[in-house]
């Protein structure tokens, strides 16, 4: 097994190299660079900037170098752990991401728990009580959850919250706690705001998971081994959870590693709408401003986590399903 992990890690190197190249190319694709958009924003504010100054800026940011040199420089810094500087914020990329990471992770991890805790019982119910009223209600609700875009749901929730409860749903803290140091009151305030992004971000995932799990469970429920388990005289709920659910959950475990990048990235549009202090809006802003080091490092970080996550998924699947071997 160790050799398997080692070999997989070795394969990651060329994969990440290819990804880094593609990332760089794509970020470079739009015409112009950060200086162009910087000059544009200055001009929009009525300021004049001379051609010389522009060239000076380019030189300072290393944007005058040819493409391949910039790529190599960026990559070698990245390997050493230096993600570069953000043009927009004038701060190291690493610091910017680290600032926003804890809250992003709190939201993402809570969302994952929310998804599983809600989806598993509902899918068991729906599968066992197939074609009953309850099943139809959940299936219908699932379709709605799946088809409403997250940001739209966020807007609806914000409207309802403001219109009927008089509270502002955006952000993670009330105004009085926004900059306050951590305290019990601030924690409670966080919890009272946290459920909105969790529900908004989690709804589509929950609905999707219910659909997948219900379908796999329906397949498994008809299998002979369920009858065998039932013939032992154990409780019906034990029959369901220990046997068909245990088998049906395997494909979901195989996707667990893919959650890793989403934990870091956060939901971009939803976060923007709800004005959450997560990494999502940071990435969006970086792409809009052609803040290439911020964007590039961010994308590379996500790719790295995706590759790691896939490995974790494979290992987890082999762990829970004895029929899968490492080769």
Q: Is 136 in the site for another protein (CB under 8 A)?
A: no
CA angle, 253 as apex, 308 and 258 as ends, to 5°? Answer: 35
Answer yes or no: are the C-beta atoms of 135 and 129 closer than 8 Å: yes
Q: Is 250 in the site for another protein (CB under 8 A)?
A: yes
Residue with smaller CB distance to another protein, 99 or 236: 236
Answer yes or no: are the C-beta atoms of 294 and 88 closer than 8 Å: yes
Q: What CA–CA distance (Å, rounded) separates 170 from 176? A: 14
The correct pick among 17, 246, 288, 326 for binding another protein (CB under 8 A) is 246
Site string for another protein, 294-323 (x = CB under 8 A): --------------------------xxxx
In the block, which residue shows the tokens 């990559």? 75
The correct pick among 84, 138, 243, 304 for binding another protein (CB under 8 A) is 243
Q: Is 109 in the site for another protein (CB under 8 A)?
A: no
Residue with smaller CB distance to another protein, 80 or 231: 231
Residue with smaller CB distance to another protein, 10 or 133: 133
Nearest to 84 by CA among 56, 57, 63: 63
* 214-233 positions binding another protein, by CB under 8 A: 223-225, 227-233
| Shortest distance in whole angstroms from residue 141 CB to another protein | 23
| Shortest distance in whole angstroms from residue 321 CB to another protein | 6
| Shortest distance in whole angstroms from residue 142 CB to another protein | 22
| Shortest distance in whole angstroms from residue 7 CB to another protein | 25
Helices (H), the chain: 2-28, 34-44, 51-60, 67-79, 93-128, 133-147, 150-164, 184-221, 224-230, 236-240, 246-248, 250-253, 259-265, 268-273, 279-288, 292-320
| Shortest distance in whole angstroms from residue 205 CB to another protein | 25
Cα 2 from chain centre: 29
Q: What CA–CA distance (Å, rounded) separates 13 from 109? A: 28
Q: Is 236 in the site for another protein (CB under 8 A)?
A: yes
| Shortest distance in whole angstroms from residue 125 CB to another protein | 15
Structure tokens that stand for 316 in this block: 């987890």
In the block, which residue shows the tokens 């659910």? 245
Q: Is 51 in the site for another protein (CB under 8 A)?
A: no
Interface with another protein by CB under 8 A: which residues? 223-225, 227-236, 242-243, 246-247, 250, 320-323
């Amino acid at each position: 097994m160790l050799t398997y992990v080692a070999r997989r890690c070795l394969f990651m190197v060329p994969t990440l190299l290819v990804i880094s190249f593609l990332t760089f190319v794509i970020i470079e694709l739009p015409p112009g660079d950060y200086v162009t958009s910087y000059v544009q924003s200055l001009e929009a504010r009525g300021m004049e900037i001379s051609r010389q100054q522009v060239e000076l800026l380019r030189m300072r940011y290393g944007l005058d170098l040819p493409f391949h040199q910039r790529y190599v420089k960026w990559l070698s810094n990245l390997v050493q752990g230096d993600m570069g500087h953000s043009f927009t914020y004038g701060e190291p990329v690493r610091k910017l991401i680290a600032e926003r990471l804890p809250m992003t992770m709190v939201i993402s991890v809570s969302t994952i728990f929310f998804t599983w805790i809600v989806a598993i019982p509902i899918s068991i119910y729906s599968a066992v009580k197939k074609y009953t009223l309850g099943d139809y209600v959940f299936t219908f609700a699932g379709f709605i959850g799946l088809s409403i875009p997250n940001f739209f749901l966020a807007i609806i929730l914000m409207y309802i919250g403001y219109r009927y409860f008089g509270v502002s749903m955006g952000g993670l803290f009330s105004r009085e706690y926004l900059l306050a140091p951590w305290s019990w009151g601030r924690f409670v305030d966080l919890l009272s705001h946290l459920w909105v992004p969790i529900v908004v971000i989690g709804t589509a995932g929950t609905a999707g998971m219910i659909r997948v799990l219900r379908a796999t469970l329906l397949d498994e429920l008809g299998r002979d081994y369920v009858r065998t388990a039932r013939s032992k005289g154990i409780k019906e709920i034990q029959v369901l959870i220990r046997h068909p659910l245990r088998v049906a959950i395997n494909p979901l475990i195989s996707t667990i590693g893919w959650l890793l990048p989403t934990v870091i990235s956060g939901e971009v549009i939803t976060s923007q709408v709800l004005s959450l202090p997560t990494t999502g809006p940071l990435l969006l802003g970086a792409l809009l401003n052609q803040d290439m080091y911020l964007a590039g490092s961010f994308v590379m970080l996500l790719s790295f986590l995706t590759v790691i996550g896939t490995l974790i998924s494979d290992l987890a699947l082999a762990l829970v399903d004895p029929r899968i071997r490492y080769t």
